[in-house]
A and B are shown apart, each in its own frame.
Chain A
Amino acid sequence: MSDWSKAVSRFQAAGPGSETTSGNRGLQIEEPLIFEQGADGRTGVDLPAPPAAADRLGGLGRKGAIGLPGLSEPQVVRHYTRLSQKNFAIDSGLYPLGSCTMKHNPRLNERMARLPGFGDLHPLQPESTIQGALELMDQLATWLKTLTGMPAVALSPAAGAHGELCGIMTIRAALEARGDMRQRILVPESAHGTNPATAAACGYAVESIPANARGRVDLAALKAKLDGGVAAIMLTNPNTCGLFESEIVEIAEAVHKAGAFFYCDGANFNAIVGRVRPADLGIDCMHINLHKTFSTPHGGGGPGSGPVVLAEALAPHAPLPWVVHGPDGFRLVEHADGASGTSGTIGRLKGFHGQMGMFVRALAYMMSHGGDGLRQVANDAVLNANYLMAGLKDVLTASFEGPCMHEALFDDRFLKDTGVTTLDFAKAMIDEGYHPMTMYFPLVVHGALLMEPTETESKDSLDQFIGVIRALAERTRQPGAAEWFHEAPRYTPRRRLDETAAARKPMLRWRPPVATAEAAE
């Protein structure tokens, strides 16, 4: 077989049923794995010969090949450029993924994080050479403390879930310090999965508290469960139904009366930033996802950053390191000791000092908006969500009455008897050029559709979106709708993928096609 015939047959190995020879569809280009493109003796870097030196690897030098493919720089650039083109992103369209806060990511923040004085700084440099970095951490801490009204903040947690771990550990440390060994944590049914997973990871039994008909915590049910065995409640506010917990002050009082702590999941802080200070709600501890409220990019799943603000009672238990002011400038306290007041610390949660790259981006964002702009962020986020709600509530079924905060929650009652599911509806949105909303979460309503437009969408953009969703909702009532929706998406690089097969016989890495080559011989 000629090399060009082989090249075409390799295209077809990607899958049958294509209308073009290559399987490509215009700008949608089939792209093999890097492992299928390598050649021996090719590389994308030019390195000098190593200087002459004896081997001191202790006889443990690598014997076999690693198995990495060789590619040149143009191949690598094209490969990852093509992969990028198979992704939906906030840069390219409305991404109403509720709870995830897909807002615009300003590029100034990227530039700032790459200043050599921040990006090319080693975490173990002598203190005299990192004063600006510690100053930046101190300023970020000041902004976060001011916005939340809390006296202390732990910067090191790497994401929201890591912040939860930090918060629950500080609560446990505070309880232990007063000899109070409590066993349970209360978590509303509507909570994000990380909340119960975190509580369990810290050795607590998790007890669920139900929601009332208004989508808020059922205060009576909560009070009935509050006793001397409860260490904390983990409550999201605004909650995952996009609603402000209107009885939150009463909740805090009841929790404190029982001697327990109030942990707030601050993933939705973007709805109230600059307008409500969590300290004024009676919250003892709250993580903030810098990758949500403060616009650090989600990067296809990370990295994030999850600082935790702490009330007076929890502050002594904050994780190491601490940034403190000394006589000669800023200092990092890295060990627990009485002299620096850190003897109550829960210890270290992560290598080094936290997600500095995210700190720089978040501070650039805060300084850009200022106190006034951040308040406007909350206003516009809430206004946009309520506008979505107003535009859709007669065609989709809103789960709860009244104004929402930063996200609008619908359930699947509007799909009753259509044969169309929430999932089908979401996949049809993809064909219309939208990323789907969050689906089947929160668990308190059936077939949830949770839409968060964020403050960075224009009114035009929302009008188009509402128009499309209304048309789709109408379409669910037309003959043949079930099949039509079930076929979606049609215009994506891939149609629906078989997730059951993926889990039944997991293929989690590429392997060279040795077996088939041998079989052919």
Chain B
Amino acid sequence: MRYLPLTEADRRDMLAVIGAPSVDALFRDVPETARAADIDLPPHQGELEVERALSAMAAKNVAAGSVPFFLGGGAYRHHVPASVDHLIQRGEFLTSYTPYQPEVTQGTLQYLFEFQTQVALLTGMEVANASLYDGATATAEAVAMANRVTGRRRSVLSGGLHPHYREVVDTLARFVGFRADAQPLDPDGGEDLAALIDGGTSCVVVQYPDFLGRVRDLRPLAEACHAKGALLLVVVTEIVSLGALTPPGEMGADIVAAEGQSIGNGLNFGGPYVGLFATRDRFVRQMPGRLVGQTTDAEGRRGWVLTLSTREQHIRREKATSNICTNSGLCTLAFTIHLSLLGEDGLTQLAAINHAKAVQLAGRLAAIPGVTVLNDSFFNEFTVRLPKPAAAIVDRLAERPIIAGVPVSRFLAGHDDLLVVAATETVTDADMDALVTALEESLR
């Protein structure tokens, strides 16, 4: 077996040194009744055979890059430069553990420090952690943190929050025992969250741009929150948008929870992704997750360490701010490398391209009889109202094959006619032509 270096001779010699008659003797503490004789599974295989079997499985899927593709809804198809994937596969990064021994993990610690800085800059916040699992779990952790900070137990969730994010918060609320008052999705844009804040509100959770792609000025909401002692928690599912939009930190956000997949990370059918978490300096000791800090070594040279770990489970156990241990390490590296390649000019231009493509596409779809674009404002994703159920249209277009968008009915009943459509830099004019033509035909 190619991953196992011991030879039969090694095993015999080692048992002799140990003084055990057989390997079975080493398992003597296992109760007789629990010793499985034979487990019915296929035998070992070579690389070629495994590759053949898994490739056949992969071939049954329609890869996003092989068709005109307009899906968003919390995961976005962007071009990831070749050097990103090359660098994250370096064994020194790929096969290292959490940097518990700083003298031999300065590489990981330094990129995490760069990552924390990048996330703080992008979101306009003061401090960011070294990642959580994904945007949805980061949001749930953020609500739990707001409850700790304010000593209150009722949060208000905007109807424009991604339904998966809302559901993850709901699950935590149910088992931890706090309230999460989720508002219904409001396609017409009349939602008044400020009116729902009272002295018992720990935070208001609002997505920017929201699930339907709409962008709104959060400053009035921030003021309303702060007037009542509540925190404003801003969720971002498309982090590239912050290359074009005023960052939440400039609008009064107290916590930003975001999905970082769009930068550096592929779609991967939903994971692994990377949860971004940023807040204000004054809340740093209430944050979940790991933090890397700057310090000096015994020779006075600058270096990095994991710090403020008295918040964490391995020190604090049942009093920890979160139970998280393993986070999104390598996905943060991909994020950091991609963002380093983009830089200021690259990111702002990438965001401008995304926005322009979406504006073009929205204009073309709006020109189809019976189709209306719901959004006044958006970044690279917007919602159209169709004269027929969106899910059926999406299924029909998938046969051509065109992946047209996310039907809102996949998440929420009662919105059958809404389709969320995204256009990133990967969408070509020919892709748009194909979508417009196919949609026209299927609505005829």
Contacts and interface: CB of A to CB of B under 8 A. Distances in A.
Contacts of A121: 61-64, 267-269
A314 to B, nearest CB: 14
A202 B177 CA distance: 8
Contacts of B233: none
A300 interface: yes
A1 interface: no
A508 interface: yes
Given A86-B110, A380-B4, A510-B113, A59 B97 contact: no
Contact of A370 (B41, B174, B328, B394): B41
Interface string B343-356: 11111111011011
Given A34-B340, A126-B398, A508-B116, A84 B90 contact: yes
B101 interface: yes
B256 to A, nearest CB: 14
Most buried by A among B19, B83, B168, B268: B268
Interface in A349-380: 349-358, 360, 363-364, 366-377, 379-380
Contact of B133 (A346, A350, A371): A350
B177 to A, nearest CB: 5
Given A300-B97, A435-B104, A89 B91 contact: yes
B337 interface: yes
A104 B101 CA distance: 20
B442 interface: no
B187 interface: no
Given A58-B377, A379-B23, A496-B298, A300 B93 contact: yes
A339 interface: no
B93 A84 contact: yes
A201 interface: yes
Most buried by A among B1, B304, B347: B1
Contact of A126 (B118, B127, B359, B394): B394
Contacts of B326: 159-161, 289, 291, 298, 301-304
Contacts of A31: 110
B90 A497 contact: no
Interface in B7-61: 10-11, 13-15, 17-20, 23, 25-31, 33-36, 38-47, 49-51, 53-61
A169 B323 CA distance: 14
Interface residues of B, number: 215
Contact of B137 (A60, A162, A277, A427): A162
B58 A117 contact: yes
Contact of B272 (A197, A357, A503, A506): A357
A220 interface: no
Contacts of A303: 133, 271-272, 274, 326-331
A83 B111 contact: yes
Interface in B296-340: 296-305, 307-308, 310, 312-320, 322-331, 333, 337, 339-340
B215 A57 contact: yes
11 contacts: A43-B343, A47-B350, A70-B344, A125-B64, A297-B95, A303-B272, A368-B46, A371-B41, A502-B295, A508-B284, A509-B128
Nearest to A35: B117
Contacts of A35: 114, 117
B68 interface: no
Classify chain A: how many residues form its interface, as a range.
35 or more
Contacts of B57: 117, 132, 135-136, 139
Nearest to A102: B97
A202 B350 contact: no
Contacts of B340: 34, 44, 69, 71, 76, 79-80
A311 interface: no
A116 to B, nearest CB: 4
Interface string B237-273: 0000011111100100000000100000011111111
Most buried by B among A41, A87, A198, A243: A87
B24 to A, nearest CB: 9
Given A47-B350, A197-B317, A496-B298, A88 B14 contact: no
Most buried by A among B97, B313, B375: B97
A122 B267 contact: yes
Contact of B271 (A33, A60, A356, A435): A356
A261 B442 CA distance: 54
Contact of B346 (A43, A506, A507): A43
Contacts of B330: 297, 299-300, 302-303
A394 to B, nearest CB: 12
A435 to B, nearest CB: 6
